[in-house]
Every structure is written in C-alpha cells, then in structure tokens.
Amino acid sequence: MSDQIKNAIQEYATRLGDDSVVLGHRISEWVSYGPFLEEDIAYGNVSLDYVGRARLFYSYAAELADDGRDEDDFAYMRNDREYRNLLLLEMPKGDFAYSQVRQLFADVYYTLVLPELLQSKDETLAGVAAKAIKETKYHLRRSRDWVLRLGDGTEESHKRTQKAVDQLWGYTHELFDMDETEQLLVNEGIAVDVSKLRDAWLKMVSDILTQATITVPEDSWAVRGGRTGYHTEHLGHMLTEMQIVHRSHPGCKW
Amino acid sequence: MVMKEISLMAEDQYQRQQQRNAEDVKELWDLLDAVKDPEVPVLSLWDLGILRDIQRDGDRITVTITPTYSGCPAMDNISTDVAQLLNDNGYADVTVKTSLSPAWSSEWMSAEGRKNLRAYGIAPPEDAELDADGLTPDAHAACPHCGSRNTRRVSEFGSTACKALFQCDDCSEPFDYFKKI
C-alpha cells in the first residue's frame, strides 16, 4: 500500500470515527432526560452503538498512524478544528422532535452508506460496517416511528417536528459531498461514493416525512465545513464537556 | 452409493465444534468454558458464540473474541477474564485479540446456551416470530417464566444493546428478549 493511500485511509477512518463519537455523545445527552424510562434506555443503547463504532474506527486510524497515539487520543486530545465530523451530527440535542428528526436523517444515511462500506476492499472498514448495519436497522425503525408519531400527532408535536426538519435541512447537503481524499479511496474501491446516495436518501426521507404529514423543505440554503474542520460554535462546547475529565487527569487509569 | 447426510446440527455449529476438538487446543477451550459473559452470567463465552478461535504456537496462546454489538461495554472485562484465567492455569504468554469479521450473529449461540438463557428468565432469539424485515416483533415472544405467547414489547432496547424488553400479559412478569441479529 502506498503512503498516499495509507494516509487517506487513516483520514477516512478518523472522519468516520468523528461522525460516530459526535453523534454518540449528542444522543447520550438525553440519558436521564428521556420522556419515559424505556426511551431513556433506548437512547443509552443507540448512543453506545455509536461510541462503539467510534472506538473501532479510531483504533484503526491509530494503528495506521502508528505514532504512539491510541483511540482515546483521537477522541479526547483533538480540538474542534481537528475534528472532521459532519455538521448535522454536532447540532445540540434541542427538543425531542429535533433529536428524532436528526436521528432519522442520520439513520437513513447510514442505511445507505453501510451496505456500500461493506463492499470496501479494506477488510477492517468492511468489518465495522457488517456490525453496524444490523444495529442501524433497529435505529431506523425507532426514529421513523417517532417521526411518524410526532409529525402526525398533536398540533404542538407537528409544529415542533416541522420546525426541526426546516432547521436541519440545510445541514443535510454536506452528507453527500466528496473531496479529493474520499475520491482517491473511491477509485481504490475502499471508500463509499456518497455523492451517488442523495437521490435514494431524499426519496426515503421524503416518503417518511410525507407520511408524517410534514412538508419536505425546498433546497434554499446549505451549510458545509465539517470535513475541513470548520464547525458550528456548538462542537467546541460539546468537546469541552466530553474531554475535560480525560484532559484534567492525563494518563489516569482505573 | 452416495448417502445424503442429514445433519442434526447447523453447519456453523458443527464447524465450531470441530474447531474446539482440535488436539492441541482442546484443553484451552475446556478451561475457557469457565469464563461467563459478565452481563449474562449463565452464558459462557462459548455458549454466546463470541469465543472465535484459539491458536497455540509453542508457549504462545492467541485467543480471538468478537463483540456482539459495536459498543458492547463488556469486551474489556471479557478480555481481562480470559487472560487471567489462562494465566492462573499456567499459561503465561496470552494475547486476546478482538476480531470484527465475520460479524457476530445470534445464530452462533449454542443450544445449551439458549436453554440456560430461558431458565435464567431471558427469551432466546427463536422464541419470537420476527417481523418481515427480520427485526423484533411488537408482541408474542414466549414468556420464559410461564410460556405464554400473550406478551407485548415494552421497549425496542432493553437493559443491554443485545436485548429488547417485553411484558407478559398472563403472568404480568417483565422479561428480556435476546434480539436476533
């Protein structure tokens, strides 16, 4: 494997790890705030699936980097400008409708991305995908059910769900952006060509939203930058909280 | 004449059984039957199907395990338990590796394990008829306490990622259902 490809895979694994840990952390913020106990547990479980994926992606990135860093260094010792996650995933948890709409957008995305990643020539990435696909089926069923219930629910829940969709829509375009690094890996049969997935995503999401009596927004604005390290203000605050214990007690073991 | 063989054991299970019968590692597999899943203490690692391989190269032993779910928090504990047990039995050079591929499937659970799960109060995967999409149904998993099918799903996600929560409408007991993945 050439150094160029190896570095690209390391970068790609880091991005996927960043996506997973950021969404996993956001979901975990609901623990003890869920509307009822079972939902609280569900949030905990889904969060754990994502944090688990992050560990797998980061361990692989660390192995490729081979510079003495481990998975924890990737998660806890990088600043917001070094994070490469999609902006959609770092948005604050908002109200329950907002979190479920974001989750639906992400779950449909992974429903499409993971089967492609399973075909990767990189065995480790394909291995993570094989595990994650099974988990995502359950995630999608839950977020779809909630969006249907909330969208087609009371006047208040409908209003909040529509508002969440409108507010988050502009962050979804970035999910399908490609850059040189990913294109290089697509050519090698390693990465997923996400630019080809938008139509399918749009169709699945639109069908669910329509069924939930929610209006699918026009594409009038788009925010991008996560993959180049330009984030919203929210990520910095999130990382501060997520990283403080690790940074306050470097090397601490228990 | 070629006889058609009808196996009483699933192919996967047969392969696994063959693997543990190999002469040089048999005693190691037997020893590791003592290591249980910390979250479901009636299941050994073998029963759960997460103990994938044991290799012996002279004094060096390499054990391969695979997580049930990506975020299974028990994996670190399990690795430590495996190494500790082998160390205690005189095997000093033990490496525990985690392998993701092939991905764990609830099909790998042993027949003994399924029986033990039920006795412990957890319905094994085959005690419910799955939805068309292969996911946990919203009702009718058999209650491990009274056997009734008059049950309903209370939550898609149970006390751990590998389980869903049900309640029996006959004996009123809540119970965990081990999801099929």
Tens digit of each residue's pLDDT (9 = 90 or more) over A56-110: 999 999 999 999 999 999 999 999 999 999 999 999 999 999 999 999 999 999 9
Q: Which domain holds residue B172?
A: 121-178
pLDDT of residue B98: 87
Interchain contact, A38 vs B100, CB within 8 Å: no
Contacts of A56 in chain B (CB under 8 A): 70, 100
Complex ipTM value: 0.75
Q: Which domain holds residue A234?
A: 3-248
Q: How many CB pairs under 8 A join A and B?
A: 82
Interchain contact, B103 vs A56, CB within 8 Å: no
Asked if residue A254 belongs to a domain, the reply is no
Say whether pLDDT at B8 is over 70: no
Residue B179: phi, psi to the nearest 5? -65, 150
Q: Of the candidates B108, B135, B153, which is a domain's last residue?
A: B108
Same domain, B43 and B80: yes
Asked if residue B60 belongs to a domain, the reply is yes
Say whether pLDDT at B5 is over 70: no
Asked if residue B3 belongs to a domain, the reply is no
pTM for the model:
0.88
Residue B49: phi, psi to the nearest 5? 85, 15
Q: Residue B48 maps to which CATH number?
A: 3.30.300.130
Locus of tokens 């799903």: B153
Taking the Cβ of residue B80 and every Cβ of chain A, the question of whether any pair is shorter than 8 Å is answered with no
Contacts of B104 in chain A (CB under 8 A): 131
Asked if residue B113 belongs to a domain, the reply is no
Asked if residue B5 belongs to a domain, the reply is no
Task: State how many domains chain B has.
Answer: 2
Taking the Cβ of residue B31 and every Cβ of chain A, the question of whether any pair is shorter than 8 Å is answered with no
Joined tokens for residue A105: 């957008």
Asked if residue B48 belongs to a domain, the reply is yes
Asked if residue B116 belongs to a domain, the reply is no
Same domain, B42 and B100: yes
**Residue of chain A whose alpha carbon sits nearest to that of B134:** A137
Of the ranges A87-96, A115-124, A145-154, B6-15, which one carries the lowest mean pLDDT score? B6-15
Asked if residue B114 belongs to a domain, the reply is no
Same domain, B69 and B153: no
Measured torsion, CA atoms of residues B178, A43, A155, B153, in degrees rounded to the nearest 10:
10
Using the Cα atoms of residue A200, residue A202, residue A208 and residue A210 in order, give the sign of their dihedral: negative
Q: Of the candidates B86, B108, B130, which is a domain's last residue?
A: B108
Angle at A203 between CA A202 and CA A207, to 5 degrees: 115
- CA dist list (Å): B64 to A127, A209, B46, B95: 15, 44, 12, 8
- CA dist list (Å): B2 to B8, B10, B31: 19, 21, 39
Residue among B70, B104, B157 minimizing CB distance to A56: B70
Residue among B101, B135, B165 minimizing CB distance to A137: B135
Residue among B70, B133, B156 minimizing CB distance to A132: B70
Q: What is the DSSP letter of B180?
A: -
Contacts of A137 in chain B (CB under 8 A): 133-135
- Mean pLDDT, all residues of chain A: 96
Residue among B72, B101, B155 minimizing CB distance to A52: B72
Q: Residue A116 maps to which CATH number?
A: 1.20.1260.10
Contacts of B157 in chain A (CB under 8 A): 38, 41-42, 44-46, 138, 142
Read off the amino acid at residue B179.
Answer: K
**Residue of chain A whose alpha carbon sits nearest to that of B155:** A38
Taking the Cβ of residue B111 and every Cβ of chain A, the question of whether any pair is shorter than 8 Å is answered with no
Tens digit of each residue's pLDDT (9 = 90 or more) over B27-74: 999 999 999 988 888 999 999 999 999 999 999 999 999 988 877 778
